[in-house]
């Protein structure tokens, strides 16, 4: 089968970019665009492996190859075998591989910036970061902040053309449900347990709420390198009865349905899925001003946007939502209305394909 669109992704583990790739594949006309996926680092147990296979999308992996140079050679051979019209790297650190694989072929190479540009550079290492920042010359950002950050960088190692395609959401999966009207406030934080998410901010706010005598519980949903340290910190702070570490969950919609509101304390973001998901489930959001959060959350209308590092305001906004049920409900309703207007998956597909065309793809 001829492959028109080839997606190169770093991994298919639980994560925002992996979910967006799945949404894109799930929603596009696969008979017309004939997508395939190549995975740089893959294990059969990874969450999105069976889901993508269930879409009958061909999946190619390099799991038995340890050397990056060898993977580049194998990927280049794969490109020549499949003859795609577009090669879209869906992770930043695979951008250069997509560019390299397209050399000597008619394929259009497309890169991605999924978080803020500076974090992507640092996280990919000095050489891979620079190469992936410059090549491919056309790249898609999922947030306007990432595109703005690139424009402020004075370096030869930046893409030449930038396009913004914001994340989409399956509104059928994340349905509108009323927040619980009785019982303790159930505050939910969702995301990877990694340093840039700044979970200690939520723990500090939890301690302050406990000292003030509020009736509540905090659920932290996700997994990562900091899980053990955060659990120990919560125990030392005397929060073992207040904070539940839920681990990875495949039922975020179900957890949000039982939540009062979402708190998001990250330092670095692109266009966070969890904020969109909470809004779609009719939940108010308290979130730091990372990435495109100020675009997503209309401060005072669908939730509250808090400056990063302003722990007093973070606490005050949480108290407001815990003590004003009507406001919490109104914000949730406004969030759902915005989700219905702006978060649909048809938009994600249409804008992605439009970006390819703007880059020069001649769609038959």
Could you tell me if 109 and 221 lie in one domain?
Answer: no
Q: What percent of the chain has pLDDT over 70?
A: 100
Residues 49, 99: Cα–Cα separation, whole Å: 24
Q: How confident is the model at residue 1 (pLDDT cuts 50, 70, 90)?
A: low
Could you tell me if 219 and 337 lie in one domain?
Answer: yes
Q: Work out whether strand 243-247 and strand 303-306 pair parallel, antiparallel, or are unpaired.
A: unpaired
Could you tell me if 20 and 142 lie in one domain?
Answer: yes
Could you tell me if 210 and 148 lie in one domain?
Answer: no
Looking at residue 183, its pLDDT comes to 87
Could you tell me if 42 and 147 lie in one domain?
Answer: yes
100-151 pLDDT per residue, tens:
999 999 999 999 998 888 889 888 898 999 999 999 999 999 999 889 889 8
Q: Which two tokens stand for residue 173?
A: 């999966």
Query: Contact at 8 Å (CB) between 42 and 10?
Result: no
Query: Contact at 8 Å (CB) between 2 and 36?
Result: no
Is residue 46 predicted with pLDDT exceeding 90? Answer: yes
Question: What percent helix, strand, coil does the chain show, rounded to 5?
Answer: 45, 15, 40
Residue 178 lies in a domain: no
Burial class (CB in 10 A: 0-12, 13-18, 19+), 245: middle
What's the CATH number where 217 sits?
Answer: 3.40.50.2000
Nearest to 95 by CA among 7, 168, 24, 22: 7
Is residue 168 predicted with pLDDT exceeding 60? Answer: yes
Could you tell me if 130 and 198 lie in one domain?
Answer: no
> Between the CA of residue 223 and those of 44, 52, 77, 230, 246, what are the distances in Å?
19, 22, 36, 11, 8
Could you tell me if 245 and 271 lie in one domain?
Answer: yes
Cβ-Cβ contacts under 8 Å for 241 (sequence gap 6 or more): none
Looking at residue 188, its pLDDT comes to 98
Cβ-Cβ contacts under 8 Å for 4 (sequence gap 6 or more): 33, 34, 35, 84, 85, 86
Residues 87, 100: Cα–Cα separation, whole Å: 10
288 SS3 class: strand
Could you tell me if 18 and 105 lie in one domain?
Answer: yes
Domain assignment of residue 301, given as a range: 185-342
244-266 pLDDT per residue, tens:
999 999 899 999 999 999 999 99
Residue 180 lies in a domain: no
Could you tell me if 16 and 79 lie in one domain?
Answer: yes
Could you tell me if 352 and 337 lie in one domain?
Answer: no
Q: Which two tokens stand for residue 224?
A: 């990562």
Residue 363 lies in a domain: no
Global pTM value: 0.93
Task: Tally the domains of the chain.
Answer: 2
Supply the DSSP string of 73-98, one letter for each residue: HHHHHHHHHH--SEEEE-SGGGHHHH
């Amino acid at each position: 089968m001829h492959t028109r669109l080839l997606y190169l992704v770093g991994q298919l583990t639980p994560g925002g970019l992996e979910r967006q790739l799945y949404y894109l594949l799930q929603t596009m006309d696969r008979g017309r665009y004939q997508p395939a996926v190549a995975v740089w680092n893959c294990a059969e147990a990874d969450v999105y492996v069976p889901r993508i296979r269930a879409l009958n999308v061909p999946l190619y992996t390099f799991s038995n190859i340890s050397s990056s140079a060898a993977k580049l050679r194998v990927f280049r051979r794969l490109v020549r075998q499949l003859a795609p019209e577009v090669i879209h790297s869906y992770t930043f650190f695979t951008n250069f591989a997509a560019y390299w694989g397209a050399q000597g072929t008619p394929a259009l190479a497309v890169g991605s910036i999924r978080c803020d540009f500076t974090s992507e550079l640092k996280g990919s290492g000095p050489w891979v970061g620079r190469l992936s920042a410059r090549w491919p010359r056309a790249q898609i950002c999922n947030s306007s902040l990432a595109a703005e950050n690139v424009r402020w960088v004075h370096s030869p190692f930046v893409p030449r053309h930038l396009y913004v395609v914001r994340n989409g959401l399956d509104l059928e999966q994340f349905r509108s449900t009323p927040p619980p009207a009785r019982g303790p406030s159930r505050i939910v934080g969702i995301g990877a347990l990694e340093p840039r998410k700044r979970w200690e901010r939520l723990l500090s706010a939890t301690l302050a709420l406990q000292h003030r005598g509020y009736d509540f519980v905090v659920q932290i949903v996700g997994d990562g390198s900091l899980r053990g340290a955060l659990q120990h910190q919560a125990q030392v702070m005397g929060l073992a009865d207040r904070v539940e570490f839920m681990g990875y969950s495949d039922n975020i919609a179900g957890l949000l349905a039982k939540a009062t509101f979402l708190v998001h304390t990250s330092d670095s973001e692109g266009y966070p899925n969890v904020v969109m998901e909470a809004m779609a489930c009719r939940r108010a959001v308290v979130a730091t001003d990372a990435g495109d959060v100020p675009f997503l959350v209309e401060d005072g209308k669908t939730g509250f946007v808090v400056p990063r590092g302003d722990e007093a305001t973070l606490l005050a906004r949480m108290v407001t939502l815990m003590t004003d049920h009507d406001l919490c409900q109104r914000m949730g309703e406004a969030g759902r209305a915005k989700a219905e207007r702006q978060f649909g998956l048809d938009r994600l597909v249409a804008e992605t394909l439009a970006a390819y065309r703007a880059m020069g793809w001649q769609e038959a």
